[in-house]
Structure 1
Amino acid sequence: MARGELSGSLRRAIDLLGRAYCSPAVRFPNTIRHSRCLSTTTSRCAELTSETHEKFTAAPPIDFSKPDAGRPKTGKQLLRTLRVVPASPSYFSAKPTFNDDWVALTALLRKFATLPTVPLPEAPKVAWKTIDQYRIMTNEPVKTLRYHKMLHVLRRLNRIHSSLMPQEVLVAMQRYKKDTQPSDMRPNPVFVDEAGRAKGVGRRKTSSAVAWLVEGEGEVLINGKTLTDFFGRVHDRESAVWALKATQRLDKYNVFALVRGGGVTGQAEALTLAIAKALLVHEPALKPALRRAGTVTRDPRKVERKKTGHVKARKMPTWVKR
């Protein structure tokens, strides 16, 4: 009896509390008003699924009673619905040819990335097309940075070992090579003739010189004149026979030369290169010594620094604070 009265009183207390909580007239100080009621009943299925889903609509059924139902269109019907599909997915981009080339090269790199490679100095020397040549070939405004990224991929493919180089990579790289390659340019063969003479040709600005070198006692004839008669300055005399002086061959060979064009200094520097080339025909092993002496270089200023040991002082920029 006491238990029933207690449960009845608790039920009435809970009902009163729920009504007071849901009533908008009851206000609690220093609190936010709530419009949500406290429910002690379980949720029903209709409350959880209140949203209505759209009905599924299938394609209309095919009427097989018609003569052309379910058959592919041919002839004029096909031409009315035909759409031209571009051969490249990059057709609608600003640079479709470049995009196709980039995708093809990167795909080759991923395909053959595991093949052994050689160091960069040992890779075959290749002259790649410049950015201007590539723009003319593709007729597209390719940016320089993007073309340099493409060249980086080409150099990586070129480093694949020659014995394992796939034919697919060779065909792809041929598109980006220049028409003339360094390996195609072979120097003319040089030799010593029946009289024991070796010929060398040198040029400097508008001056040109042809020198014949033969074993002898150190005589030098330039346009039929001796070295001292042809060149009045000591500097020009030393510059003309610098290749022999640097290799200590002044008293071993005779020089017969013809020079023309330009000034006296230009003729002397052209003769320097001509004598060096003729000396290499007699003694090819002297090439490292001549390279150190600066006689086989194209820049005569390096020859000047080798002879005098003078290095021009570098000027400081004007914005540097002193």
Structure 2
Amino acid sequence: MYCDCYVIGHFYRQRQSGMENQTIVYILILSGLSDLPSLQLPLFLVFLMIYFITLSVNFLIILIIYTDCHLHSPMYFFLGTLACLDMGYSSVIVPRMLFDLLTDRRLISVQACITQFYFFFFFIASEVIVLAVMSIDRYIAICRPLHYTQIMNRKVCVQLVSITLAFGAIYSLVHTLFLSKLTFCSSNTLQSFFCDLPQLLQISCSDTFINILLIFVSWIFYGVVILGVTFYPYITILRTVLKIPSKNMRVKAFSTCSSHLTVVFLFYITAFFNYLYPNTNYNLKEDKVASVFYSTLTPFLNPLIYSLRNQEFITSLRKTLHRQWWGRVDNIL
């Protein structure tokens, strides 16, 4: 399909290395979601709808938080940041996937592939730390409520988010710089529908020791340090909530934490399955399912989990819609 003379002549270059000729690849082929032509259009329509809902609901969350002064609290500030990140890394993956489903072309340059990886890794790395910060926020709100407004003031929240984004940008840049030094040879098909790091390292013909070392450091930092920071506060939170005499207060405290815990479990389980599950030929379909859930469905489900289980947000949404509705009625009359 892609092996005509023009493509070969345009996308490949021969490099002499010692006594051997080595073919350097400048264009990669994405395997896509499915090879069945009959599934291309249905998959396109399904993921187009998912992407549209993802953007719409996340944007609605940001708009409600911004316009309603009752939601100008640290918890909703971090929730709005999470919504922005969900919109970001969904937009890095899904439009390209929709284009490939519609055209069945699946060609991507190495430079574009590495660029996609940079932004994807930036949004993912930032989101993991934001989830950890949200755990700390819940810990202070429930376990130290008298000092909550002093500790988690607006300046501190802005600083935490700024540091998170700066760290995500720098850390992603380090991965990207070492990734850009790799060369890709005769094997140029990525067993994925987007440019993810494990698949890129798998087809590289360069020494990937530094890249693998960086992945190891990432798993130590994110899988041990950040994961510990995310879950450890809930030990104290659970003890504190169980000591609350009022049943209604206990339910309210649990409800504010349950949404966050659901999102965290959803994110980490799919991420671990995607990156730690053995990458062998017999489970490529399972790997793609995990990648779809991790990169596409998680940002779709996150806002639904937070909005549908948050009574304060639902109340604010109803008030906003009510004001908009009656405002239009008054203008008509």
**Same fold (TM > 0.5):** no
The structure in which a higher percent of residues are helix is 2
Q: TM-score normalised to the size of structure 1?
A: 0.23
Higher relative contact order (CA 8 A, sep 6+): 2
Bigger Rg over Cα: 1
Q: What TM-score does the superposition give when structure 2 sets the normalisation length? A: 0.23
